[in-house]
């Protein structure tokens, strides 16, 4: 069933007001990557059990594999069938054109990240692209997220150590954050305070003092990417300071992979992979999502 423009605008307005509510009440939306239908099922079940509002998100790889319209339909079906509060985020959209397609598809959250596709993009190019998406999003009311720099790492299991000397070079600054927000009009600023895409051999360390400075510098929403492999106390502190969106991907993918490997080992004669995914994989991914919901203080906060 196709979603109407009126429904899209209503969803976007609700998402906007709920982000403001999250900040006021000191909780955050978990933004969980959607690799396939079983991943969506795991997130929806966790949201139902915890009575929590959630975002599911897709980046360009998932868009190419699943399709924007299919993602919209899958999420809307899950919302109706499960009775959960769920929104869609287009994560790390690599171009203005790709971001506009996400807005046209009715996604409530859009992350424009031209530096992801072009690490050498100039400040002027990033600002111009972001501003164009912000203006285009006014048609539906979608919330636009961005940052003025390339965000390192990848959503995978890494074996190398974290080089904080290098990472600190790309940390957000209060002055830069305010300048970027003022220049673009974004709804959400993706902060860099030690968070990094992927999961590493050692836990990540977040600079919460810097986060407090960023929170004081701007009045827009603040998000944290690269949430996997981060000790829970950092997230609790970040939510208390005013972060309202935290992205999780690698923790889910690792749980998925390990559960599937276990299933294949324990049930070598079972050729219904869908059955193995239902019995082994979905419950393990659901556990990850439930744990993050508790950590982000969003359990019991759903408004359906």
User: 3-state class of 252 per DSSP?
Assistant: helix
Site of tokens 């490997």: 261
291 is catalytic: no
| Closest C-alpha to 281, from 294, 267, 298 | 267
User: 3-state class of 229 per DSSP?
Assistant: coil
User: 3-state class of 297 per DSSP?
Assistant: coil
Q: How far is CA 50 from CA 39, 195, 227, 286, 294, in A?
A: 17, 26, 20, 11, 8
Rg of the chain (C-alpha set): 18
Which of 35, 91, 187, 251 is flagged as catalytic?
A: 91
**Which residues lie across from 197 on neighbouring strands?**
153
**Which residues lie across from 222 on neighbouring strands?**
189
Please give the Cα distance from 244 to 222 (Å, whole number): 6
Catalytic annotation, residues: 91
């Amino acid at each position: 069933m196709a979603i109407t423009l009126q429904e899209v605008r209503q969803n976007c307005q609700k998402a906007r007001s709920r982000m403001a509510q999250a900040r006021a009440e000191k909780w955050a939306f978990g933004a969980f990557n959607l690799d396939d239908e079983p991943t969506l099922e795991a997130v929806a079940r966790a949201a139902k059990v915890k009575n929590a509002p959630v975002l599911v998100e897709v980046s360009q790889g998932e868009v190419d594999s699943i399709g924007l319209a299919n993602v919209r339909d899958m999420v809307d079906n899950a919302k109706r069938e499960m009775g959960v509060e769920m929104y869609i985020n287009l994560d790390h959209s690599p171009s203005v054109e790709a971001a506009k397609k996400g807005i046209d598809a009715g996604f409530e959250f859009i992350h424009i990240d031209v530096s992801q596709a072009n690490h050498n993009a100039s400040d002027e190019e990033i600002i111009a692209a972001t501003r164009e998406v912000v203006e285009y999003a006014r048609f539906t009311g979608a919330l636009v997220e961005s940052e003025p720099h390339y965000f390192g790492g990848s959503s995978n299991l890494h074996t190398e150590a974290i080089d904080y000397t290098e990472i600190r070079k790309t940390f957000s600054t209060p002055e830069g954050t305010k300048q970027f927000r003022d220049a673009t009009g974004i709804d959400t600023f993706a902060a860099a305070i030690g968070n990094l895409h992927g999961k590493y051999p050692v836990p990540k360390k977040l600079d919460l003092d810097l986060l407090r400075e960023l929170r004081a510098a701007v009045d827009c929403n603040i998000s944290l990417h690269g949430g996997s492999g981060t000790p829970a106390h950092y997230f609790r502190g970040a939510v208390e300071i005013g972060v309202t969106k935290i992205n999780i991907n690698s923790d889910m993918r690792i749980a998925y992979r390990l559960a599937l490997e276990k299933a294949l080992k324990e049930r070598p004669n079972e050729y219904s992979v869908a059955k193995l995914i239902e019995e082994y994989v979905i419950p393990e991914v659901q556990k990850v999502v439930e744990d993050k919901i508790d950590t982000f203080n969003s359990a019991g906060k759903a408004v359906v």
